[in-house]
């Protein structure tokens, strides 16, 4: 009788010990995989600022790189990038009063740079007969304005003072590969991009 009572107490103590161990293990695993500890939450690396510079307010879209969820019933707006007028464009044909002229012996190349500078060279049979450079800008919706500041190349370079403005109507294809420039007289020159700028 006494031995059976001792055995019962030993089994009961073992059961209580195992039960306490299981609960302790569960709480330990929840702590490690649940909310961050106070040390990591208060570290400077985890503090986020909004555009206004207010610390402690987390902007989930800027921090994670994903857009915040849209409101119910709204249609998400796709992200589209506008084509940029940048790189070297070479003339391929001219449309004037219903006549299409292919540019085989006459070539004009225009380089548009990201800083707003441009350089244009026109050649006939491989020899330069005109060159100018300066700045360009785009006046919405479809005006390309060239500010000619220098004409000629190397030895015959001349400063244009005051600079001359030349405005063209223009369109740029969605991929940025084709440029169409229409002069004040109505002739449209079609250019194709032959070189892209080197990535910075």
The pLDDT tens digits along the chain (200 residues) read 545 554 555 444 444 444 444 444 444 444 434 433 333 333 333 333 333 344 444 443 333 344 444 455 544 444 456 889 999 999 999 999 999 999 988 999 999 999 999 999 999 998 999 999 999 999 999 999 999 999 998 888 999 999 999 999 999 999 999 999 999 889 999 999 999 876 65
Using CA of residue 37, residue 42, residue 44, residue 49, what is the dihedral sign?
positive
The partner residues of 133 in beta bridges, in order of sequence, read 119, 150
The strand ranges marked E within the chain are: 87-96, 99-102, 106-112, 117-124, 127-139, 143-151, 158-172, 178-182, 188-195
CA dist., res. 51 & res. 55, Å (int): 10
Residues 6+ apart with CB under 8 A from 187: 94, 95, 96, 97
Give the helix/strand (H/E) hosting 61. Answer: helix 60-64
CA dist., res. 117 & res. 132, Å (int): 11
Q: How many CB atoms lie within 10 A of CB 187?
A: 14
Asked whether 112 and 83 are in contact (CB, 8 A), the reply is no
pLDDT of residue 40: 38
The partner residues of 182 in beta bridges, in order of sequence, read 169, 188
For tokens 């010990």, name the residue: 17
pLDDT of residue 131: 97
- Fold of the domain spanning 87-195: Lipocalin (2.40.128)
User: Could you say which DSSP state residue 55 is in?
Assistant: B
């Amino acid at each position: 009788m006494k031995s059976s009572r001792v055995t019962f107490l030993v089994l009961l103590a073992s059961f209580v010990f195992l039960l306490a161990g299981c609960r302790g293990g569960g709480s330990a695993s929840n702590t490690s995989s649940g909310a961050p500890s106070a040390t990591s939450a208060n570290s400077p690396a985890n503090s986020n600022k909004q555009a206004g510079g207010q610390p402690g307010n987390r902007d989930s879209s800027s921090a994670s790189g994903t857009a915040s969820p849209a409101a119910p019933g709204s249609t998400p707006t796709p992200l589209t990038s506008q084509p940029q007028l940048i790189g070297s464009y070479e003339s391929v044909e001219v449309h004037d009063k219903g006549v299409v002229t292919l540019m085989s012996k006459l070539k004009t190349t225009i380089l548009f740079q990201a800083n707003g500078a441009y350089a244009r060279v026109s050649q006939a049979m491989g020899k330069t007969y005109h060159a100018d450079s300066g700045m360009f800008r785009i006046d919405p919706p479809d005006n390309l304005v060239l500010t000619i500041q220098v004409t000629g190349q190397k030895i015959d370079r001349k400063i244009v003072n005051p600079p001359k403005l030349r405005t063209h109507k223009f369109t740029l294809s969605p991929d940025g590969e084709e440029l169409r420039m229409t002069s004040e007289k109505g002739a449209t020159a079609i250019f194709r991009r032959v070189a892209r700028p080197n990535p910075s």
